[in-house]
A and B are shown apart, each in its own frame.
Chain A
Amino acid sequence: MRDEIIPSDHGQHPPPVTPIYKTSVFRGPRMPLLSLNGSLSELTGPRFGHGAMGALDNDLYRNFQHGGEPIGERIIVHGRVLDGNAKPVAGALVEFWQANASGRYRHVNDRFEAPVDPNFGGCGRTVTDDEGRYHFRTVKPGAYPYRNGIGDWRPSHIHFSVFGTAFAQRLITQMYFEGDPLIPHDSILNTIPDAAARTRLVAKLDLAAQVPQHTLAYRWDIVLRGHRSTLFENRLEGN
């Protein structure tokens, strides 16, 4: 049997129905989740090697250039993927996507009146090293309005998707930027009831990691659920 995963701490996450984010009322499940305590089906998960990544997959500044450079403030985003026991998660697939510097996504459904940047795709991916570290280069995404409350704007943010070693650890979330004045007004971030939990989605300016005279840097760590050490074998029947 694989090591089990520590049960999710639901208080860290948004509940399924959060009226300040209207679409969640249409789509958020109402029934309680069925607690499974993990079987092999969820304690295993797909693994992705470094070899599956292209050379520019973690460089959004260069991975969609068409005869020019993307417009915007160049940044490096870096950090570690850890588990709930503060151990690094090596070999974790980290994927990211974002709007361009003017707040527009390269997506058939994005109708925001801001230009698509011909040299910016807006997505990338990488696999963490043995110490759980990841990094990528991009341009800082712009804020954009969205249809929720009248006058709602999203702060600058980057979407993240992470695979740990177990499918149970699967996570999608968003990273924000320290000092953004839109953060306290964001209906999406405010779906998370716990204020301390919200601050853990905010990347910190990391001047020491900059490329001097060229690129600023931000640091953000991601924490997945940890493995539970098996002190006594649990012989309960079922799943």
Chain B
Amino acid sequence: MFTPDSLGRLPETPSQTAGPYVHIGLIPRQAGFEIFADDVGAAPLPPGEPGERIRVEGRVLDATGALVRDALVEMWQAKADGSHGLFFRTGTSFETGLWSFDTVRPGAVPARGGAAPMAPHLCLWLAARGLNRGMHTRLYFGDREEANAADPVLRFIEQPNRRATLVAARTERDGVPVFTMDIRLAGDGETVFLDV
């Protein structure tokens, strides 16, 4: 249907916003109905999955500081041994604006060109009404200060105070480590988003 140019290349299909009803297609149970045997990315962590059990959670905020309560949040991560990977998908709650995942702490992932491995991290991807493109970002673990300080991606962030937007603070609930990171789409403390 499309014709490649003289180099044999095709231009990318443009992005469009996921809109307010993204739940219907991608997390239909949150839209209010059941249609598939299993919603993609909704299965809980397999009970036998090796690694330290953790919870990650946070809110999504707009430029005015208001909660974004209709966002899709996807997570792709290495397993505990550093190999890929595990995939999860959820939405921010219509009531509380909170997203969360129960998973295992990922291992370190090799970096480019034989450099030191990247600090353990989770890859997050957000889509929502008002976002013209899906946004890539990462979550690093606040209790891994040494590894974070050496992480090539965090070090690439020019302003040291912006690095903190990708680091989740550790607390504990019912004996499980909980890592909390708010995602600020715009405005004060805007999260660092990635062109990957």
Contacts and interface: CB of A to CB of B under 8 A. Distances in A.
A219 B76 CA distance: 31
Contact of A95 (B40, B63, B111): B40
Contacts of B58: none
Interface of B is mostly: loop
B112 A109 contact: no
B124 to A, nearest CB: 10
Contact of B78 (A41, A83, A85, A125): A41
Interface in B109-168: 109-113, 115, 118, 121, 123, 125, 127-136, 138, 152-153, 155-157, 162
Contacts of A149: none
B24 interface: yes
Interface residues of A, number: 95
28 contacts: A12-B13, A23-B129, A26-B66, A27-B186, A28-B186, A31-B192, A33-B193, A36-B196, A39-B111, A42-B136, A45-B76, A46-B41, A83-B10, A85-B9, A106-B33, A109-B20, A110-B20, A110-B21, A123-B28, A159-B22, A161-B25, A172-B17, A173-B14, A174-B16, A174-B17, A200-B2, A201-B14, A223-B10
A222 B13 contact: yes
B172 interface: no
Interface of A: 1, 5, 7-9, 12-16, 18, 21, 23-31, 33-42, 44-46, 48, 52, 54, 57, 63-64, 79-80, 82-86, 93, 95-97, 105-110, 121-123, 125, 159, 161, 167-168, 170-174, 188-189, 191-192, 194, 197-198, 200-201, 204, 219-226, 233-239
B21 A97 contact: yes
A84 B8 CA distance: 8
B112 A236 contact: yes
Contacts, number: 283
A91 B109 CA distance: 25
